[in-house]
Amino acid sequence: MAQISSINGGTDQVLVEETSSVRTFILNRPKQLNALSHQMISQLLELFHVSERDSNVKMIILKGNGRAFCAGGDVTAVVHNVRRGNWKLGADYFREEFTLNYVMATYSKPQVSILNGIVMGGGAGASVHGRFRVATEKSVFAMPETALGLFPDVGASYFYSRLPGFFGEYAGLTGARLDGAEMLACGLATHFVPSERLPLLEQALVKVNTSDPDVISAIISRFSHIPKLKEGSPYHKMKIIDRCFSRRTVEEIISALESEALNKNDDWVSSTIQSLKKASPTSLKISLRSIREGRLQGVGSCLIREYRMVCHVLMGEFSKDFFEGCRALLIDKDRNPKWEPSRLDLIRDDDVDCYFSKIDDEDWEDLKLPPRSNLPPYAIAKL
């Protein structure tokens, strides 16, 4: 019988179910679509560390309560803290979140994430780095940060840069929403299981007494199948995506898409152009460079670089688009952000370079990732 408990003084933002060899962690802020509070991140980090040290634990299952796995980080709380005058409070949140992403990416035991619902932003970081990601017909995946004045973080420059062709640049710059079938096709998910079969899958998984990924994959495969992509799926547009999103600059990407639009009447091309033109110009430029650099870096280097970038965003020296995006989309909800700079041509290469530099503050430190040992081959490969 599974033992269910809440942790950290009776709070219930993360629930824990225990069997002899499996720990199931349940994100439990359903009204907030399981958005990751600082408390949840701290709890998860502690739970992952404790479970890794416990030789009886062979596997982790991570899932969400309600209609979301996790809709992202609780950035409204971060913005509130930064607006009170201390950007380092916001930096503390991201430092702990990125550390959790790194621990998951280099975990010595398999993590199975059940993605039965919304998976966005920080929710992607809490799942994609793990060994197994189970999508369903209810899955909705997106990294919508460029519409918020941020950039795809939580290690997205690592995992987006490793998607087929230039699909990662497409998804990262536009914030495109992907369904479960598309997640499986591009590799963000490892399996697709109909939601009605999830209870049976979980019953089978909690009986597992091994960390052998081949055994665990075989169990999940018994309940999974390969779904058909919908007719209008962007995954059917890979030739156009590769032609356009392989261009060197954001301006060239948009120009290439506009040329495609002239040649054919394609609603997908038009909506893609509109998504790019609605996004923060600064976010687009730093996001493209981040994903391109990620192609050549391990997951730890990506997270260290992204931490530098997010600290520059929080300081708001060049642009305060993150605060404006959160105001327009999350606080006032007028959905009409006023970006500054307002155009791509107003942003020089030197301005972009600043986001990738160390912070000029004697109290600031680069992200210090915890030492990892006894890693399985798939985790070593990420380094």
Amino acid residing at 373: S
Which residue bears the tokens 């972009």?
352
d(CA 287, CA 157): 8
Can 73 be counted among the known catalytic residues? yes
Catalytic residue (one of 64, 72, 73, 168): 73
Instruction: Supply 185's token pair.
Output: 């096709």
d(CA 228, CA 97): 34
Catalytic residue (one of 74, 97, 145, 260): 145
Is the separation of the CB atoms in 337 and 321 below 8 Å?
yes
Which residue bears the tokens 């979980």?
202
d(CA 142, CA 118): 8
How far CA 292 is from CA of 46, 161, 162, in Å, comes to 32, 7, 10
Can 122 be counted among the known catalytic residues? yes
d(CA 169, CA 341): 22
Other Cβ atoms less than 10 A from the Cβ of 187: the count is 15
Q: Which residues contact 295 (CB under 8 A, 6 or more apart)?
A: 161, 162
Report residue 7 CA to chain centroid gap. 25
Q: What is the dihedral of CA 208, 138, 128, 378, to 10 degrees?
A: 40
Which residue bears the tokens 């009886």?
56
Catalytic residue (one of 64, 122, 155, 180): 122
Pairing label, strands 22-27, 59-64:
parallel
Report residue 126 CA to chain centroid gap. 7
Q: What is the DSSP code (8-state) at residue 73?
A: B
Instruction: Supply 58's token pair.
Output: 């062979």
Other Cβ atoms less than 10 A from the Cβ of 73: the count is 26
Phi, psi of 84 (to 5 degrees): -80, 0
List active site positions.
73, 122, 145, 153
